[in-house]
Amino acid sequence: MTTGQDEEVRRLLHVSFADFPLGLTNRYDLVRLWSLELQWLTPEAALSVLEKLCDQGWLVEEDGRIKPNSGVVLIPPALGWQPIVRRVLYPPDFVVAEEVVNVSRIREETQRQESNDSKQVDEPQKIKAQFIQKEEMIEIAPSREVIVKISEPENSTRNKRDGPTDRPPDRAEINIPALINHIAASSGLVNREVVRRAQRKRRSLGPVTLWMALALVAREQGLDMYDVTAIIETK
């Protein structure tokens, strides 16, 4: 059974390695991410957390590259999550035996979902069989004109596809270039760096709009949020 500290570490690692190719990074990038970009820890505390995660078996370091232990099951954090510092400063030992139980449960849930999906796939075959039976009944009395109407099942996906699926556009979308320019000019960052930090926040926080991520970058840079809000709400 996982504890609150276990889950906190799993969420931290999920956020930390989501943006790195192949789940590999180095000490400098992790410390910079936790301290300067996300501002969760001081540089000294970030380095201490990194050392302890390596010592406790959560992280593996080889040839200067760091990655999560292959047995760790990462947990996606909720929107707006940030770590409880006291929990990540003193992480528990990583226990592989606990992970085997979690992986087995995940596999069982996956198999159950696949079984449900296969049942849904069989529904069209049942409808086809019913249609063939009706055709055989029609051939018994060829002199009578019979019109057979096959209704769509209630869970059919055809109506879902035919209906409108486009969501209304984000009203702040047209103001994003102006918002990026404002943040860059006021903070001293180049436009590309502003966008990079905003995209990193979107990957870390989940389903948030680009303008919201840019607003978070502006707040981190100490900008006047009244000016930022005015740009977002400009029509």
The answer to whether domain 4-94 has CATH 1.10.10 is yes
- List where CATH 1.10.10 sits in the chain: 4-94
What is the residue whose two structure tokens read 């926080």? 205
Residue 83 has pLDDT above 80, yes or no: yes
> What pTM was computed for the model?
0.45
Per-residue pLDDT, averaged over 221-227, amounts to 91
**Which residue blocks in 74-157 are alpha helix, DSSP H?**
85-89, 96-140
Beta-bridge mates of residue 141? none
At 65 the three-state DSSP class reads: strand
Compare 161 and 42 and report the one with higher pLDDT: 42
pLDDT at 182 over 90: yes
> What was the pLDDT predicted at 51?
93
Q: Residue 138 corresponds to which amino acid? A: I
Q: Taking 90 as the threshold, does the pLDDT of residue 211 lie above it?
A: no
